[in-house]
């Protein structure tokens, strides 16, 4: 697939880059992780996935407001993303914005009732009850 930059990257290459970004994030190399995810965003501008990944990096750093902004930007790209809704709900939960968290988590469950993100959201919702 060719990006808007005219660069071609295979699905396997994108997956490799995303995995590298998550490794950087998990190793505490947050700037490097964000840089990798921004690169993937340039290669896949219509995908919300690298934007959510940036949000997860910001979340791990404790930058909840910035993470929320990243998740909201992801939802602008893909309004039906359970991945983005689940992570947005989690960040709102951590900010103790429980009503808004509940709305977003419920939407994630609705969109992905049997999937990983629906289950993640459901587990947080159970704490909110």
> Residue 42 and residue 61: Cα distance in Å, rounded?
23
Mean per-residue pLDDT, 10-39: 97
Domains parsed from the chain with CATH numbers:
11-128 (1.25.40.10)
Residue 19: pLDDT band (50, 70, 90) is very high
pLDDT, position 56: 98
How confident is residue 125, by pLDDT bands cut at 50, 70 and 90? very high
Above pLDDT 90, what percent of the chain?
91
Helix 116-128, helix 82-94: angle, nearest 10: 30
pLDDT tens-digit series, residues 49-98? 999 999 999 999 999 999 999 999 999 999 999 999 999 999 999 999 99
29: which DSSP letter? -
């Amino acid at each position: 697939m060719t990006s808007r930059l005219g660069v071609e990257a295979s699905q396997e290459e994108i997956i490799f880059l995303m995995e590298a970004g998550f490794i950087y994030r998990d190793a505490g190399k947050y700037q490097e992780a964000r840089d990798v995810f921004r690169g993937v965003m340039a290669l896949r501008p219509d995908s919300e996935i690298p934007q959510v990944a940036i949000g997860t990096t910001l979340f791990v750093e404790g930058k909840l407001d910035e993470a929320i902004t990243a998740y909201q930007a992801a939802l602008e790209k893909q309004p039906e993303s359970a991945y983005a809704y689940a992570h947005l709900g989690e960040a709102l939960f951590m900010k103790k914005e429980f009503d808004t968290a509940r709305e977003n988590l419920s939407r994630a469950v609705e969109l992905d009732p049997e999937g990983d993100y629906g289950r993640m959201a459901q587990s947080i919702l159970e704490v909110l009850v």
